[in-house]
Structure 1
Amino acid sequence: MKKRILAWGAASLLLASSLAACGPKATTETEKKAESGKASEAASEKAEGASEDEALKADLKLYTYPIGKWGDSASVDSLLQNFNAKYPDIHVTVEYLDYQSGDDQVNTAIEGNAAPDLIMEGPERLVANWGAKGLMVDLADLFEDDAAKDIYSNVVEACKSSEGKYYEYPLAMIAHCMAINKTAFENADALQYLDLDNHTWTTENFFKAVKALHDKGQENVAAVYCGGQGGDQGTRALVNNLYGGKFTNKEHTEYAVDSSENAQALEELVKAEGINFDPALVGGDEITLFRNGTLAMSLCWNSAQQNNKDNGEAGKTNNGDEIIPMLFPAKDGKAELCGGIWGFGIFDNGDENKVKAAKAFIRFMANDAEQAKLSVQTTGFFPVHKDLTDVYEGTENAETMKLFTEKFMPSFGDYYQVTPGWATARTEWWNMLQRIGQGGDVKTELTTFQTNANAAAKA
C-alpha cells in the first residue's frame, strides 16, 4: 500500500424602419396617421411588457453553493442591490451551502416541500439530478432570447436534458487543471520536462519529472487523493489523460472507465515512487499540502486557486515559491480538461408568479451586459457568453485570467457529468481509488466501478 500523507437582459430591440415609396405617389395623411398609430401601439406594448416585468412582486429564496464569491454574503449582497435597483419588489433571501452538506440540505428541503425558488450550481446537479427527477422548471424560453445566442454551444448542450428540456441557465465556466511548484522543479532539474510556453507536458515527461523530484528527496511529489468526491475532477483528468482513456461514452448514457488505457494509467501511478494514493485527503486538503510545500504538484487547480491570496501573494506558495499552472499530461501533450459550468435553475414550486420573478433574476444576473460582467467576476471564472469580453480588464487578476483564457480554456473537454447515475459514479470512483491504493487489482476494481456505476445509470 502506498504511503498515506497528511493533511459565469440585454433586451432585444424592436426596430421600426421607414419604408420608401415604391412609386411617385405621395403618402396621404391617413396613411401617415395609420403608420404613426402602429408605431405608437408597438412602443406602448413593449413599454407595458417591460414595466410589467419590472413591477413583479415576489419573495424568492436562492440557494447557492460556494462558487467563487457567490458563497460570500457581502459579495452577493452587492449583486442583489443592483438587482433591486431595477426590481425593487422582488426580494431575494440567500442560503449559502457547502459541498459537504449542501446536497443533503437541498434534498431535505425538497422532501419537506420547502425547496428554494432558485438554485445556483452546475448541470450535474440541476440537470442530471433534480431536473431528471422532474423537480425543475424548463428554461427553454430563456435560451430563445437574443441575449442567449452567443452562449458556447457545448455549454448550451450541457444545460439540456436527454428529453430536450433546459434545467439550467449558465453564467460562468472554467477548465480545471493542475499546478507545480517551480522551485521544487528547478531544484530537481525537472523543468526540462515541461513545455512552459504552452503549459503542457507529455505522459513520458510527467513520469520523468516525478522520478527526478523523488530522487532529489521530495518524498511526496503528488497525491491521488481519494477521501471523498471533493476535487475528484483532478484525479479523473489525470487518469483519463495519461493514456487517452475516457470516463463515459460520447452519448453520456453509460460509463466507460473499464478500459486498457485507464488500467495502464492507474498501474503506472501505483508504481511511481513519489505518487501516493491517500484516503485521508480530498481536493481541499491536497491544495493545502501543495501550498505548504509538502507536495510538489496539485491535481486540483484552476484560475481561482491561482488568484487566491488567503495565505500570501497570489500565484505563490505559502513560503513564496512560484506556482505554475499546467494542463494534465497526455501521450501527445494534448490534454482534455474537465470543465465546470455554473448557472441558475428554478425549482417548480407551483407558483407561476415566483417563476416569472426568478426568470427576471436570471436574465438580469446572466444577460444584462454590465451586470453579467460583475456576476461572472464574482465567480472568479469565465463567461459563457462569447461576446462578453474583457470581464477582468483593469482588475488585479487580468494577467492570470488572460493566461487561462488563452492556454487552458481551449482545452475544455467533454462535459460528461450529465451522465445518469452521476452521484453514484462519483462515490464509486473514490472508493475504487482507495481499494487500488490499498493493493487492489486494477482491472478488477475498474470492472467493479463500471458495473456499479452503469447499474445506477440504468436505474
Structure 2
Amino acid sequence: MKFRTLTGLASTLALCAGMASADSTVRFWYHFDNADNPMDALVEKFEAANPDITVEAENIPWNSYYDQLYTAIIGANAPDAAMVKMFAQPRLVEMGALAPIDDWLASWEGTEGLQDNLIELTKGPDGKQYYLPVQYVVLYLYYRPDMFEELGLSVPTTCEEFRDAAKALTRDTDGDGQIDTYGFGFRGGKGGHDHWASFVLGADGVSLTEGLTSEAGIAGTQFVADLFQQDKVFPPSAPNDGFQEIIGAFKAGKTAMTIHHIGSANGMVEALGDNVAAAPVPACGGGQWTAFGDESTAVLSSAEDPEAAWKWISFLSSPENNALFNEATGQLPVVKSDSEAWSLHPQRFVQATVDSLPFAEMLPNSNATADFVNTEWPTNMQRVLTGDITAEQMNTNIEKLFAE
C-alpha cells in the first residue's frame, strides 16, 4: 500500500540513511498544457545518471489536477512527487500529505544557486519547507521607451513619479480633440487585484490582513481612484477591462504603461519591437509590492522511497535541467545561472523579473483569498472607480472578508 503517515515517512528516512533504495520507482505528476514537452528527455537524462531509479511521469490535465491529487491522497494512491502551487499548500499540509524537505535543502549543493527569496516565498504555514521552486513569474511595469523619450520622461520609481508620467503620457496626439494614448492600462475587471495591490500594499503596515483601513491603506486605494476619476489617465473602459483589453491596448499604442509578467513579453516584442521595455513597479507609500506567481515540486509523505523522489525533484531544479523544464511553460527558471543564459525571452524582461523578486509577495494562504480574487475585489474596485462607494468603504469590505 502506498499511503503512509508522516511518522511512517520518518522511519523510512531513517532506514534510507541518506541513500535511495535499489531499483526504486518515482511516480511523478505534473501538468503541462503543451503535449510536446521535454519531460521524456528529462526522465531519460535523470535515469541515465541514476540507473537504480525509474521515473514514471504522468501529465495530468490542469482542469482536474488538484481534484485528482486530493482524491489520490485520500485513496492511498498518491504519486511519490508532484508539481504543486502555493494555494494548495495549507490543505496539503493539513492532510499530512507532504514531506518536509528542510534537511535535504540544507545539504543540497543547488540551494545557493536558486534565485533569492524563492525559498522564503514558498515556506509552509508551519515554518517548514515543503516546496522546491521549479518555475515562477513576477509582475512588473511594461512601458513604451519611445514615448518616454519623446516627452523627456524618466521611468517612474515612486507613485508620485508614476502619476506625473501617466498624466504627461495621456494626450491627444493627432489634434482632433480626442485622447489617443492613456498613461496606464488598468485592469479593473477580474484579475486586476495585482494592479491595485502594487499601488496599495507596499505601504508600511498595509496588507490584505491588516492596515487596509489605516490612513495609508485608504490613501492607496484613493490614489488609484484619483488616477481614473481626476487625472483620467486610464482608458474609460478600465472598470471592466481584463487581461485581453490591457494587453491589446498596450500593443496598439493606446496605453503607455501597464502591469503584467514575462508571459506577455514575446507578444509585446512581436508587436512593438524595441519600443517596449520593463522595470519594477514603483514604490508607493514608502515600499514596494508586486505579485509572485508560483510553481513548485514536492515529495509526498506516502512516497515509497522519499530519497529517490527528492533526487528527482532536485534534478528538475538544477542548472540546465531547470532551463529545459521551463522551455515548455513560458515561465522562468529558478536557477540563477539558467536565468542569466535564458534566451526564450529578451533579457530586459528577465532582468525586470529578477530585480522585482526581493519585494515580490503572495496573497494570503486563506479561504478568503478565492472570494477576494473572484468577487470581492472586482466588485468593489469597479464601484470605487465609478464613484458608487468610497475608497474607505472598499477597504473596509475587504478587511471584513479576511477577518471572518
For 2:132, which of 152, 162, 169 is the aligned residue? 169
User: How far apart are the structure 1 equivalents of 2:371 and 2:96?
Assistant: 19
Measured after TM superposition, the shift of residue 180 of structure 1 is: 1.3
Does the C-alpha gap of structure 1 residues 132 and 222 become closer, same or farther in structure 2, counting only changes over 3 Å? farther
Does the C-alpha gap of structure 1 residues 366 and 295 become closer, same or farther in structure 2, counting only changes over 3 Å? same
SS in 1 for 2:295: strand
For 1:300, which of 248, 255, 260 is the aligned residue? 260
The one-letter amino acid paired with 1:446 is: N
For 1:140, which of 74, 85, 102 is the aligned residue? 102
Contact kept? 2:142, 2:279, Cα under 8 Å: yes
User: How far apart are the structure 2 equivalents of 1:154 and 1:432?
Assistant: 32
* Residue 371 (structure 1) aligned with residue 371 (structure 2): no
Does the C-alpha gap of structure 1 residues 83 and 290 become closer, same or farther in structure 2, counting only changes over 3 Å? farther
Measured after TM superposition, the shift of residue 448 of structure 1 is: 0.6
Aligned residue number for residue 261 of structure 1: 216
* Residue 225 (structure 1) aligned with residue 181 (structure 2): no
* Residue 426 (structure 1) aligned with residue 373 (structure 2): yes
Does the C-alpha gap of structure 1 residues 391 and 319 become closer, same or farther in structure 2, counting only changes over 3 Å? closer
Root mean square deviation, CA, Å: 3.8
Aligned residue number for residue 15 of structure 1: none
User: How far apart are the structure 2 equivalents of 1:82 and 1:284?
Assistant: 39
Does the C-alpha gap of structure 1 residues 453 and 128 become closer, same or farther in structure 2, counting only changes over 3 Å? same
* Residue 83 (structure 1) aligned with residue 46 (structure 2): yes
The one-letter amino acid paired with 1:431 is: T
Measured after TM superposition, the shift of residue 344 of structure 1 is: 0.8
Aligned residue number for residue 279 of structure 2: 326
Does the C-alpha gap of structure 1 residues 370 and 396 become closer, same or farther in structure 2, counting only changes over 3 Å? closer
Measured after TM superposition, the shift of residue 94 of structure 1 is: 0.7
User: How far apart are the structure 2 equivalents of 1:278 and 1:401?
Assistant: 25
Does the C-alpha gap of structure 1 residues 237 and 205 become closer, same or farther in structure 2, counting only changes over 3 Å? same
**What is the 5 A alignment of 1:282-297?**
282-297=242-257
Aligned residue number for residue 210 of structure 1: 166
User: How far apart are the structure 2 equivalents of 1:153 and 1:403?
Assistant: 13
**What is the 5 A alignment of 1:118-133?**
118-123=81-86, 125-133=87-95
The one-letter amino acid paired with 1:165 is: K
Measured after TM superposition, the shift of residue 384 of structure 1 is: 4.4
Contact kept? 2:139, 2:260, Cα under 8 Å: yes
Q: Which consecutive unaligned segments of at least 5 residues does structure 1 have?
A: 1-44, 65-69, 249-253
Aligned residue number for residue 446 of structure 1: 395
The alignment's TM-score, normalised by the length of structure 1, stands at 0.67
Measured after TM superposition, the shift of residue 126 of structure 1 is: 3.8
Measured after TM superposition, the shift of residue 445 of structure 1 is: 1.2
Equivalenced residue count is 369
Contact kept? 1:193, 1:205, Cα under 8 Å: no
Contact kept? 1:119, 1:344, Cα under 8 Å: yes
Aligned residue number for residue 361 of structure 2: 415
Does the C-alpha gap of structure 1 residues 404 and 121 become closer, same or farther in structure 2, counting only changes over 3 Å? farther
User: How far apart are the structure 2 equivalents of 1:361 and 1:285?
Assistant: 41
Contact kept? 1:239, 1:245, Cα under 8 Å: no
Aligned residue number for residue 36 of structure 1: none
Measured after TM superposition, the shift of residue 321 of structure 1 is: 6.2
User: How far apart are the structure 2 equivalents of 1:181 and 1:354?
Assistant: 52
Can you list the C-alpha shifts for 1:239-265, whole angstroms capped at 9, x where unaligned? 334x667324xxxxx343333223223
The alignment's TM-score, normalised by the length of structure 2, stands at 0.75
Measured after TM superposition, the shift of residue 134 of structure 1 is: 4.0
Measured after TM superposition, the shift of residue 146 of structure 1 is: 2.7
User: How far apart are the structure 1 equivalents of 2:97 and 2:108?
Assistant: 27
Aligned residue number for residue 404 of structure 1: 352
Measured after TM superposition, the shift of residue 111 of structure 1 is: 4.7
Measured after TM superposition, the shift of residue 396 of structure 1 is: 6.2
Contact kept? 1:392, 1:398, Cα under 8 Å: no
* Residue 358 (structure 1) aligned with residue 314 (structure 2): no
User: How far apart are the structure 1 equivalents of 2:98 and 2:232?
Assistant: 48
SS in 1 for 2:133: strand
Structure 1 vs Structure 2: percent identity of aligned residues? Answer: 17
User: How far apart are the structure 1 equivalents of 2:111 and 2:357?
Assistant: 22
User: How far apart are the structure 2 equivalents of 1:365 and 1:90?
Assistant: 12
For 2:341, which of 371, 377, 393 is the aligned residue? 393
Measured after TM superposition, the shift of residue 176 of structure 1 is: 1.9
For 2:118, which of 138, 147, 155 is the aligned residue? 155
Aligned residue number for residue 239 of structure 1: 200
Measured after TM superposition, the shift of residue 283 of structure 1 is: 3.2
The one-letter amino acid paired with 2:218 is: A
Can you list the C-alpha shifts for 1:92-133, whole angstroms capped at 9, x where unaligned? 111242xxxx4x65136525757863443443x243443345
Larger Rg: 1
SS in 1 for 2:170: helix
Q: Which consecutive unaligned segments of at least 5 residues does structure 2 have?
A: 1-14, 173-178
